[in-house]
Amino acid sequence: MLVSARRSVRRGRAAAAVAVVLALSFGIAACGSARSSPVGGSTAAPAVIPVLNVTIGSPTLTFGAMYIALEDRLFAKNHVDVNVVSNAAVATQGALLVGGQADLSVTASSSGLALRLQGQPFKIVSTITYYDQRSFAVVADKGITSIQELAAKGSNCSIGAAAPGTAGYGYLVTIQKAFGVDCKVSIFSTTPAVEAGITSGGVQAVVTAPLVGAVLAQRGYNEILNPSTMTKSVARKVAPYSYPFAVVGGLAPDLKAKKVAVERFIEALRQALALMQGLSAAQLGAITARDTAAFAGTPVAQLTSTYELVSSDWNNEINGLITTRQVGVTLSNRALSYASSVDMSYFNATQAVPKCAAGQRPATGKVCRLS
């Protein structure tokens, strides 16, 4: 049974989801609310408010704009009724979309393209955040203080990560090559399971979300790859490709059937990202302080980006996903071509999105469209 977005966020089974939303809500109250007009410039409520049933990949900063849009009622202000089916849908979002229980998914790009590899007509319609060195952290037990110490153990160690085909597994593959880590790999299906893997002593290290990494560090574990403190040279090693990480997408027939609602949804996320950009580093730290110190002092513009995903960027997307060892991901697979996988018509239909100046490329965190 579907529940309202706000109710789902507050009463979700994951305690971390509640913590994130409470922290975001606190920050918004302190910093003010966005008051942008709905798509098309009309402030009058339409006669019929379309409904979108939506899944969110996880309750983390990767999808922060979604939680801000919910808490600041930006979807309601843009005249779309958003029902959150699940806000921890990493393992279930595909089934929910294909089964007709969800219309739209705010998810990792790897999850969306996995559906395409299964023959489903999944289309990316907007980007939210990009994969880079800030996407993951590596945490080790209390006897390992650096990635070099972990590598020195050879195969006499174990490391936990998400399953092949995910960005988290791709991060693992990258650090294995970059630092010579040869630990035995244990696969976990959920973020809580990854966390439990190290706290129970089942593994000596884990690849996990920065949010979880910061929490574990507060409990005495060692964050041996910390996205907020790593040098530029290390950052280039752990994230050689930057590509759309959190995206908005759905099955093509569902998107077409709910075209107006999808456009209003994208506009609400654009407004949420604009609101985030208006925060100072200190305000961002205040918003996230209850959950993580990993991004304290980090300008919001480095954490958010939304612009048209153009074909010239698509090779980075596929090259990045090749590192995840997802079966079938190749540059030559037509099912994963830009034309097959991306539809920016919904994004460009949001008239409130300013067009980039001639020859201008939007910097990370700057909201504009290229066409």
What's the pLDDT score for residue 355? 64
- Residues 210 and 298: beta-carbon distance below 8 Å: no
What separation in angstroms does the CA of 123 have from each of 140, 189, 243, 335? 37, 25, 16, 11
Average pLDDT score over residue span 50-77: 81
What's the pLDDT score for residue 102? 93
What is the DSSP track for 198-246? HHTTS-SEEEE-HHHHHHHHHTT-EEEE-TTT--HHHHHHH-S--EEEE
Average pLDDT score over residue span 102-122: 89
Map out the domains of the chain with their CATH numbers: 5-131+243-348 (3.40.190.10), 137-238 (3.40.190.120)
- Whole-prediction pTM value? 0.69
Tell whether the model's pLDDT for residue 331 goes beyond 50.
yes
Residue 81, both tokens: 């009724």
Lowest mean pLDDT among 64-78, 167-181, 197-211: 64-78
What's the pLDDT score for residue 213? 85
Tell whether the model's pLDDT for residue 8 goes beyond 90.
no
Cα separation, 101 vs 285, in Å, equals 36
Identify which of 250, 293, 138, 267 has the alpha carbon closest to the alpha carbon of residue 204.
138
Who has greater pLDDT, 94 or 321?
94
Q: How far, in whole angstroms, is CA 116 from its chain's centroid?
A: 19
Tell whether the model's pLDDT for residue 326 goes beyond 70.
no
What is the DSSP track for 124-166? EEEEEEEESTTS-EEEE-TT--SHHHHHHTTTSSEEEE--TTS
Average pLDDT score over residue span 303-316: 63
Say what percent of the chain tops pLDDT 90.
27
Output helix, strand, coil percentages for the chain, rounded to the nearest 5: 45, 15, 40
Residues in contact with 204: Cβ distance below 8 Å, sequence separation at least 6, in sequence order = 140, 141, 144, 150, 153, 157, 158, 159, 183, 198
Residue type, 136: F
Identify which of 49, 41, 65 has the alpha carbon closest to the alpha carbon of residue 365.
65
Tell whether the model's pLDDT for residue 248 goes beyond 90.
yes
Lowest mean pLDDT among 54-63, 65-74, 98-107, 349-358: 349-358
Radius of gyration over alpha carbons of the chain, in Å?
A: 20
- Residues 268 and 54: beta-carbon distance below 8 Å: no
Average pLDDT score over residue span 152-159: 95
Identify which of 2, 129, 16, 115 has the alpha carbon closest to the alpha carbon of residue 55.
2
